[in-house]
C-alpha cells in the first residue's frame, strides 16, 4: 500500500505532466491559429524588390552577384558592371526577373550540340538563384516558355529546393540561325510558399505532446 509520501510524489508527477500537456496543447493551437491567419493574410512573395543572390558556378570557378530584383531591366546583362555580366556573358545574353518568373537569354557560341542544328553555350556550369528572405520558400518551379532552345527538362537541368533554383546550362542547345549571334530563351515560372513565424511555435507544441504521450505510455 502506497505511503502518503509516495502518493504525494505521484500526484506531483501527474500534475507536472498535465501542466506540460496543457502548455503543449496551447502552443500547438496558438501556432496553428497564427499559421492559418498568417498564410491567408500575408501578401504573396514576388521577386521584384527582393534581395537575391545570382551565381554562375562550375568546377573550380564561381561568380556571384547580389541584386535587388527589378531595379534594372534586365537585371543582369552583358557588360553591365556585374560579376556575371562582365565575367561570362556575351552580347544579347541576360537574366531578367519578373514578379513570379525569371528569364534567361543564352547565346550558342560553343561547340556543336548533339543535335546538328544546335550549338552549346560553351559553358560547363549552372546558374543558381538564391532567396535571401527567411519568410518564404520556393514551392514549385515550371518551364513557362522556351524559344530556340532544346535539352532543358524539369528535375534534370532545372531543379530546386526551398531556397534555391538550379539551372544547368552545360548540355542545352541553342538553335543555329545566324552563326555568332544565336540566342535561345527560357522562362521559369516560380511559386512561393510563406513560412509564418508561428510555425516554430506549433512544432514545439506538437513535440511537447509527443513527449508527454511517450511518458504516459512508458510509465
Q: Which three cell numbers stand for residue 9?
A: 510524489
Q: Which helix (H) or strand (E) holds 136?
A: strand 136-147
Q: What are phi and psi of 87, to 5 degrees?
A: -85, -35
Strand pairing class (173-175; 158-160): unpaired
| Rg, the chain, Cα only | 26
Say if residues 58 and 125 touch (Cβ distance below 8 Å). yes
Q: Please state the pTM of the whole predicted model.
A: 0.73
Mean pLDDT of residues grouped by 10 in the chain (219 residues)? 52 53 51 46 78 97 97 96 97 96 95 93 97 91 97 97 97 86 94 72 53 50
pLDDT at 195: 78
- List all residues 6 or more positions away from 125 whose beta carbon is below 8 Å from its beta carbon: 56, 57, 58, 59, 61, 168, 169, 170
Pairwise CA distance, residues 199 & 187, whole Å: 32
pLDDT at 34: 45
Say if residues 169 and 196 touch (Cβ distance below 8 Å). no
pLDDT at 133: 86
Q: Is 60 left (phi over 0), alpha (psi -120 to 50) or beta?
A: left
Q: Which three cell numbers stand for residue 187?
A: 522562362
Q: Is 72 left (phi over 0), alpha (psi -120 to 50) or beta?
A: beta
For 148-197, list the strands marked E by DSSP: 149-150, 158-160, 164-168, 173-175, 183-194
Nearest residue to 56 via CA among 27, 90, 33, 32? 90
Provide the H-helix boundaries in the chain.
4-41, 83-87, 198-218
**CA 83 from centre of chain:** 22
Amino acid at each position: 500500500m502506497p505511503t502518503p509520501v509516495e502518493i504525494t510524489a505521484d500526484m506531483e508527477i501527474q500534475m507536472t505532466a498535465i501542466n506540460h500537456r496543457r502548455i503543449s496543447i496551447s502552443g500547438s493551437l496558438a501556432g496553428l491559429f497564427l499559421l492559418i491567419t498568417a498564410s491567408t493574410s500575408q501578401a504573396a512573395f514576388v521577386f521584384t524588390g527582393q534581395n537575391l543572390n545570382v551565381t554562375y558556378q562550375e568546377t573550380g570557378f564561381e561568380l556571384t552577384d547580389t541584386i535587388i530584383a527589378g531595379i534594372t531591366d534586365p537585371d543582369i546583362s552583358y557588360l553591365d558592371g556585374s560579376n556575371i555580366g562582365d565575367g561570362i556573358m556575351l552580347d544579347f545574353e541576360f537574366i531578367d526577373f519578373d514578379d513570379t518568373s525569371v528569364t534567361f537569354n543564352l547565346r550558342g557560341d560553343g561547340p556543336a550540340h548533339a543535335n546538328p542544328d544546335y550549338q552549346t553555350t560553351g559553358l560547363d556550369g549552372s546558374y543558381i538563384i538564391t532567396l535571401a528572405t527567411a519568410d518564404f520558400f520556393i514551392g514549385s518551379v515550371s518551364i513557362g516558355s522556351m524559344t530556340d532552345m532544346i535539352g532543358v527538362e524539369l528535375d534534370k537541368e532545372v531543379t530546386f529546393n526551398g531556397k534555391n533554383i538550379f539551372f544547368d546550362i552545360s548540355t542545352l542547345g541553342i538553335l543555329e540561325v545566324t552563326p555568332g549571334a544565336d540566342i535561345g530563351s527560357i522562362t521559369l515560372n516560380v511559386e512561393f510558399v510563406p513560412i509564418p513565424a508561428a510555425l516554430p511555435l506549433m512544432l514545439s507544441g506538437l513535440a511537447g505532446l509527443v513527449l508527454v504521450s511517450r511518458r504516459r505510455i512508458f510509465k
